[in-house]
Structure 1
């Protein structure tokens, strides 16, 4: 593990979230003169081992052997480049598999991240159900990390607006 005081900013990203999460991660990296590592966690797979060359082997939760193999993650490099290059911040990407907060926490330990930046959950019934069943990634990280966890609101409520957990009027 590297020294987290001088480590990079780890930013958890998904393909669907607004640019505010990677952009805020880059802003912190630039403000603290750090590199940024953009990480995506595939929740449909889990880490099953390590190859002799150090690469990670993933296995799908889906028992159907005809299911697609590795997902297309070219979007991750594209998002990283778009967010970091214009700010002049050095960046890399990483991919993990499994439960997001556990994987991001392990990545943060491995790279000696100075902080972890994640977004809030996306609004909607399915996202709410997933959070109810699996818990909030941000909350899990906030309770298990010794480093700061920054939570970027994806769709902030207006000052007088309804927050996601309040019932509709």
Structure 2
């Protein structure tokens, strides 16, 4: 199904999205939305901006933290990211829309969840290949921060999709 506008009637599933994110993260979120007969809200949070005004549908107007490096294109949802979402969701019947948010990523997603009374928030996990200790992972993990900040269900999708056809447990 295509992108939809306006306020959804059912409790949506929110998925945090970022450029370069594996498509299966959004596809898994769409599968949850389908099971709940809910719309999907794909939210990108720009930490270099802060919210100025918020609408009832969860959308925000934002401003750059550093006005010397302000770029108005950062205030809207990135078209390349929107195109990757369209490609990832082309075979789904789930209605979806995208939102550009601002501020602390976990805080903005939690606030959006409260604003929309979301059924759940879905995020992708960091790839272990980027290094770092377990402590660093939990300090930077949006999923862990969300789990500690609010009572809504949080689903963390692994960065690497497991090969379910062979059942071998190897990453694809």
- What TM-score range do you get, normalising by the shorter chain? 0.7 to 0.9
Structure-2 residue corresponding to 1:148: 153
SS in 2 for 1:59: strand
Q: Which runs of 4+ in 1 moved over 6 A?
A: 156-161
Task: State the distance in 2 between where 1:27 and 1:160 align.
Answer: 22
Question: Which one of the candidate residues 72, 81, 84 is aligned to 1:69?
Answer: 72
Q: What does residue range 52-131 of structure 1 map to in structure 2 within 5 Å? A: 56-63=60-67, 65-71=68-74, 73-122=78-127, 123-124=129-130
Residue-by-residue CA offset, 1:115-145 (whole Å, 9 max, x unaligned)? 00001124425x87xx569632110111122
TM-score normalised by length of structure 1 = 0.75
Once superposed, what is the RMSD of the aligned Cα atoms? Answer: 3.1
Paired residues of 2:60 and 2:100 also in contact (CA < 8 A)? no
| Structure 1 unaligned spans of 5+ | 162-169
User: What is the aligned partner in structure 2 of residue 25 from structure 1?
Assistant: 29
Give yes or no for contact 1:84–1:90 (8 Å, CA) kept in 2. no
Q: For 2:39 and 2:161, how far apart are their aligned partners in 1?
A: 27
Whole-angstrom distance in 2 between the partners of 1:37 and 1:86: 16
* Residues 133, 24 of structure 1: alpha-carbon distance in 2 compared, 3 angstrom cutoff: closer
- The more displaced of 114-123 and 95-104 is 114-123
